Each structure stands twice: as C-alpha cells, then as structure tokens.
C-alpha cells in the first residue's frame, strides 16, 4: 500500500522534523499503515512556539482589526465547507470514524468559524462605575499570546475548530498538536488557514506523541494557555506542566454520562436517544450516554427494544455510507473495551448482547454491547470505557435516579427522557453536569458552551464564554482632575 507522506506546518512552511524521524498512522478499518508524519520533539516544538510568538508580536497581526480577523475566519469557514468531502474522507481513514458522521460533522464545522467570525469585533470591555470622582476607569479584553491546542483522535476537526476559532478571533496565535493517531486533517486545516490569508505563524501544526511533543509544548515558557481535550491521565501531566509556564488551562476530559429514562418517556424517542448516546462514534465520544438508568416498570420493555436495535446496527467499513458503526480508533482502545467487558462480567453483570469483537476479517471492530449492572458501584458504572458498551441499571423513583446520576467522579453530560415538564426541571436542577439534554442527546451548537463538572474538567468551549477563556482583562485608570497629583507623603 502506498504511504502518504506528510509534513508539519511551522511559520507558514511545510517541514520535516529536525531529527528526520517519522511515525506511522494506521487505518483502523484495515490495520494497514497509510500515512507517515514528522515525529516532532522539543526542538521542533520550540521552533513552532517561537514562530507563533513572533506572529503574535508582529505588526501584521497586532495591528489587524478584530473585524479583519473575523473576515479571515469567515473565509476559513468557507474553505472548510468547500473541502468537506476531502476532509471527511481523510478523517475517516485516519481514525475510523464513519464517513456519514464525518460528513455531518465537517459539514457543520463552518458554523463554528462563522460564529466566532461574527463575535470577533464584539469583544468589548466595560466602563467602570468608580467610587472616586476624579478618576475614570474602563477595562479592555486582550489576547493572551501563544495558545497550545492539544487534540485527541476521536473528533480532531471539531475539537480543533472549537479551540482555534475563538483563539484566533480574539487575536491569539496557536500551536496545534493533533493526536499521534489522527494528525492528517489538522494539517489540511493548516493548509486552508494559509489559503484563507492567516499570516505565517498565526496557526502552526506540529505532529508527534504526547511524549516528547505534547509534553514540551505544554511546558514551553512562551505558551500562555493550554486548551486540552483528552484523557484524565494525560490531563494530570498537562496540569503539572502548566505550573512551569503559569499557563491558563481549559480541560475537556472524560465522562460517564447518565442517560435517564423515566416511565412516562416516549419510548421510541428514548431508544433512539440511547442508541445515539452510546453507539454513535462507536461510543468514542466524551459525552457518550454510557450509563443507562431506566425506571423499573419499563425496564424490561426498554432493554429488550434497545437490544433489538443494537443487534441491527450495521458494523463495518466506515467509508461506506450505509455503515452505522465503525471500528475502535486504536488497537489499545479495542483492548481497553475488551478489558472493561471482562471486568463487568467478572463483577456479575449480565450480557444482553455483544461482548465480543465483530466478525470482520481485519480492523479493530467491536460489537454493540449491552450489559446489565447490579449496582452503581460496579466498575462499568463508574469508569469511562470510550467504546460501544452500554451499562444499564434500573431505578425506582426520581430520587434514586438523581442519586445514581450524581454518584460519579465525572460530570460532563446527562440525558433526561420524560414527558413531565416539572419532573424534567427538577432533574435539571439536581444533576451535577455541564450539559443536560432533555428528550434529545448529543446536540451541539457553536453558541452552546461545552464543559464539565468534577473530573470531566474545567473551562468552557463554544459560546460567548469561550471568548473569556482566550482573553485577559486590562483595567485602565485615568486621572481626570485638573489638579496635579498630590505628593503621597504629605498628609492633608
Ligand atoms: O488520550 P490522551 P488516549 C479518554 C478515553 C480514552 C483515554 C485515553 O477514556 O480511553 O482518554 O485515550 C496528548 N503532555 N479520552 O490515551 O493520551 C496526546 O498526544 C501533553 C477522552 O488516546 O489523553 C493527544 O494529542 N500532551 C477524550 C492528546 O493528549 C499529551 C478523547 C489526547 O490523548 C501528553 C480521547 C502529555 N504528557 C480520549 N500525553 C475526550 N475528552 O473526548 C498525551 N498527550
């Protein structure tokens, strides 16, 4: 098989790693190596960060008006839309995500660039109401400087767009590090950013592993903020590294999100919501509805219907439009899924369906799996699997559902299925998570903040809040008195 060769983007130039080393990317559906990428180390990271820093300090970027930056972002959004097919196919090949999912996700991506393009020239400070008659005060929101974007493999383009659009809109410059398992589309995005007219160095893309590349990037003294999406263990390293450069941090980590189905729910809708929650993206989504809490009087009916639908899911080649579930993105993710299912069975969970690799010759495919758990303390109810494994458990009443939902170290998302408006509101109020979906699941929008409670991370992406994440406040004091400033050592 022909291997595609990639270079990385530093200061507007396409280059190899200084060491000349490369690493391979494997197509999860075929297990064939298809691409080769520069293996960036601390030297390359230093070049990339310095290039972003120089761009940040340059007159071209510093003096560019916010509306001009907005125009560049709008152009980038247009280019992403025009290149939708190519980007969608590349992402599907690199991480095994379904083409029908990547087409949908990339097709919607321009909206994120347009949203922040529109916001760019609406970032404003405030006039302060000071308790000092001769002083006038106001605030301005200013960019931070170089932003490090650390991206995982599950939805690289989407998770990048929601970082770079607000970062660039507010006048920062960026060094992106894609996951070693899915680098290709971010390099394409780098190409489109240059084509859109962003100056050299405003957006750099370096390819490499967490160690040494991500590590060197997140501890670099010129990095002012780290926007990280990934796993909890890597996040701990990143938090420690941020102490080296006092960088601001936003962390979007894992979840064990409860999808709660009440006995008065529209069952057809709830089954579809449960399927979307756990089997979309083969469960490799931070907001997966991986804990299914079902009220006891509809429990058997619901689980039977869910099982029937799960068994009809078409697992296979992600590049075919009719396929409904693709492979695990990496061999290690497949091993993680297998391990969790083994642990669940050892702990006494009952297997309703799945629980094994799919019967497909090559590729890291797993079957849609439903396991009935005995207690919310079971490993499968508490730990993130990041695969197509639904942990199901019955509950008696609202109070028990809420207690189980909140008995988690995570708090990223939650789903509530009920026709009772008052009950939905009580649950919304009680649930500790950054997102609550009522009678729907996995909806996203550029204007809707995403982020977690607890160990799901902190900081918010998307929405107006994200502007605050990428800016800092300068407070300005102006003396308006006609009198000279008094000598501070003379008491009056
Ligand atoms: O993620 P990593 P992994 C969860 C999911 C999964 C687990 C592990 O449960 O099973 O995490 O996945 C970079 N300094 N999520 O190991 O390693 C890395 O190169 C700086 C949830 O693949 O966290 C990649 O670019 N960077 C999640 C990025 O971190 C480091 C999505 C994420 O990879 C680093 C993915 C270091 N020391 C996994 N070590 C979500 N929230 O959606 C690694 N990286």
Q: Is residue 406 part of a domain?
A: yes
CA–centroid distance, residue 94 to ligand 1 (Å): 16
pLDDT confidence band for 17 (50 / 70 / 90): very high
Buried-exposed string 184-202: b where 16+ CB fall within 10 A, e elsewhere: bbbbbbbebbbebebbbbb
Given 101, 252, 383, 469, the catalytic residue: 252
CA–centroid distance, residue 250 to ligand 1 (Å): 14
384 classed as catalytic: no
Same domain (yes/no): 41, 179: yes
Q: Tens digit of pLDDT for each residue in 325-336?
A: 999 999 999 999
238 near 244, Cβ under 8 Å? no
CA–centroid distance, residue 193 to ligand 1 (Å): 25
Q: Tens digit of pLDDT for each residue in 133-144?
A: 999 999 999 999
- Could you tell me which of 368, 314, 310, 364 has the C-alpha nearest to residue 335? 364
Q: What is the pLDDT of residue 79?
A: 98
- The ligand 1 atom at the shortest distance from the C-alpha of residue 153 is 35
Q: Is residue 79 part of a domain?
A: yes
Q: Is residue 221 part of a domain?
A: yes
Same domain (yes/no): 275, 370: yes
Same domain (yes/no): 267, 247: no
Q: Is residue 410 part of a domain?
A: yes
Q: Is residue 191 part of a domain?
A: yes
Domain that holds residue 140: 4-253+456-475
Same domain (yes/no): 175, 299: no
Q: Is the pLDDT of residue 491 over 80?
A: no
Same domain (yes/no): 40, 166: yes
CATH number at residue 311: 3.40.309.10
Considering only CA atoms, which residue is closest to atom 10 of ligand 1? 386
**3 state SS for the chain:** CCCEECCEEECCEEECCCCCCEEEEEECCCCEEEEEEECCCHHHHHHHHHHHHHHHHCHHHHCCCHHHHHHHHHHHHHHHHHCHHHHHHHHHHHHCCCHHHHHHHHHHHHHHHHHHHHHHHHCCCCECCCCCCCEEEEEEEEECCEEEEECCCCCHHHHHHHHHHHHHHCCCEEEEECCCCCCHHHHHHHHHHHHHCCCCCCEEECCCCHHHHHHHHHCCCCEEEEEEECCHHHHHHHHHHHHHHCCEEEEECCCCCEEEECCCCCHHHHHHHHHHHHHHHHHCCCCCCCEEEEEHHHHHHHHHHHHHHHHCCCECCCCCCCCCECCCCCHHHHHHHHHHHHHHHHCCCEEEECCCECCCCCCCCECCEEEECCCCCCHHHHCCCCCCEEEEEEECCHHHHHHHHHCCCCCCEEEEECCCHHHHHHHHHHCCCCEEEECCCCCCCCCCCECCCHHHEECCECCCHHHHHCEEEEEEEEECCCCCCCCCCCCC
CA–centroid distance, residue 252 to ligand 1 (Å): 10
Q: Is the pLDDT of residue 208 over 90?
A: yes
Q: Tens digit of pLDDT for each residue in 362-418?
A: 999 999 999 999 999 999 999 999 999 999 999 999 999 999 999 999 999 999 999
Number of other residues whose CB lies within 10 A of the CB of residue 86: 12
Q: Tens digit of pLDDT for each residue in 257-315?
A: 999 999 999 999 999 999 999 999 999 999 999 999 999 999 999 999 999 999 999 99
| Bridge-based pairing state of the strands 146-150 and 223-229 | parallel
pLDDT confidence band for 490 (50 / 70 / 90): confident
Considering only CA atoms, which residue is closest to atom 26 of ligand 1? 214
Q: What mean pLDDT value characterizes the chain?
A: 97
Q: Tens digit of pLDDT for each residue in 74-119?
A: 999 999 999 999 999 999 999 999 999 999 999 999 999 999 999 9
Same domain (yes/no): 211, 278: no
Same domain (yes/no): 204, 339: no
Give the pLDDT mean for 143-152.
98
Same domain (yes/no): 32, 172: yes
- The ligand 1 atom at the shortest distance from the C-alpha of residue 285 is 42
Task: Count how many domains the chain has.
Answer: 2
Cis check: omega of the bond before 20, within 30 degrees of 0: no
Q: Is the pLDDT of residue 492 over 80?
A: no
Q: Is residue 179 part of a domain?
A: yes
- The ligand 1 atom at the shortest distance from the C-alpha of residue 150 is 25
- The ligand 1 atom at the shortest distance from the C-alpha of residue 178 is 25
Q: Is the pLDDT of residue 66 over 90?
A: yes
Write out residues with Cβ below 6 Å of ligand 1. Answer: 150-154, 177, 179-180, 209-211, 214-215, 218, 229-231, 234, 237-238, 252-254, 286, 333, 336, 384, 386
């Amino acid at each position: 098989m022909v291997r595609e060769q990639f270079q990385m983007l530093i200061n507007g130039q396409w280059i190899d790693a200084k060491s000349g080393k490369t690493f391979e990317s494997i197509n999860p559906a075929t297990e064939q190596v298809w691409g080769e990428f520069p293996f960036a180390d601390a030297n390359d990271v230093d070049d990339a960060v310095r290039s972003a820093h120089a761009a940040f300090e340059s007159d071209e970027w510093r003096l560019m008006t916010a509306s001009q930056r907005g125009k560049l972002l709008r152009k980038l959004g247009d280019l992403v839309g025009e290149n939708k097919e190519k980007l969608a196919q590349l992402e599907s090949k690199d991480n095994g995500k379904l083409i029908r999912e990547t087409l949908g996700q990339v097709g919607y991506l321009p909206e994120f660039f347009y949203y922040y393009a529109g916001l760019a020239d609406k970032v404003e400070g405030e006039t302060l109401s000071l308790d000092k008659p001769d002083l006038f005060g106001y605030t301005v929101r200013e960019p931070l400087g170089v932003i490090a974007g650390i991206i995982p493999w599950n939805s690289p383009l989407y998770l990048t767009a929601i970082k770079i659009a607000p970062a660039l809109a507010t006048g920062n410059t960026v060094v992106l590090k894609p996951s070693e398992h899915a680098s290709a589309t971010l390099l394409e995005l780098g190409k489109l950013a240059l084509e859109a007219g962003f100056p050299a160095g405003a957006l750099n893309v370096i390819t490499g592993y967490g160690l040494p590349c991500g590590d060197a990037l997140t501890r670099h003294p010129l990095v002012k903020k780290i926007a990280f999406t990934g796993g909890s263990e890597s996040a701990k390293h990143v938090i420690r590294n941020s102490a080296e450069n006092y960088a601001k941090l936003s962390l979007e980590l894992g979840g064990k999100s409860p999808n709660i189905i009440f006995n008065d729910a529209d069952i057809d809708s709830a089954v579809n919501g449960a399927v979307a929650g756990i089997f979309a993206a083969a469960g490799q989504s931070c907001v997966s509805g991986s804990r299914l809490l079902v009220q006891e009087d509809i429990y058997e009916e619901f689980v039977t219907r869910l099982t029937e639908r799960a068994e009809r899911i078409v697992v296979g080649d992600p590049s075919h439009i009719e396929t409904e579930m693709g492979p695990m993105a990496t061999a290690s993710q497949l091993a993680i899924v297998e391990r969790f299912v083994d642990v669940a069975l050892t702990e006494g969970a009952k297997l309703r369906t799945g629980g094994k690799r799919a019967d497909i010759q090559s590729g890291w495919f797993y079957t849609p799996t439903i396991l009935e758990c005995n207690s919310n303390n079971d490993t499968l109810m508490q730990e993130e699997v990041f695969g197509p494994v639904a942990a199901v458990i019955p509950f008696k009443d609202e109070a028990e559902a809420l207690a189980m939902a909140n008995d988690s170290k995570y708090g990223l998302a939650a789903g509530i299925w009920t026709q009772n408006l008052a009950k939905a509101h009580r649950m919304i109020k009680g649930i500790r998570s950054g997102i609550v979906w009522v009678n729907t699941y996995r909806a996203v929008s550029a204007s809707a903040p995403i982020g977690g409670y607890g160990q799901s991370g902190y900081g918010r992406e998307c929405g107006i809040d994200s502007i605050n994440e990428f800016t800092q406040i300068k407070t300005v004091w102006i003396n308006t008195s006609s009198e000279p400033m008094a000598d501070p050592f003379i008491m009056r």
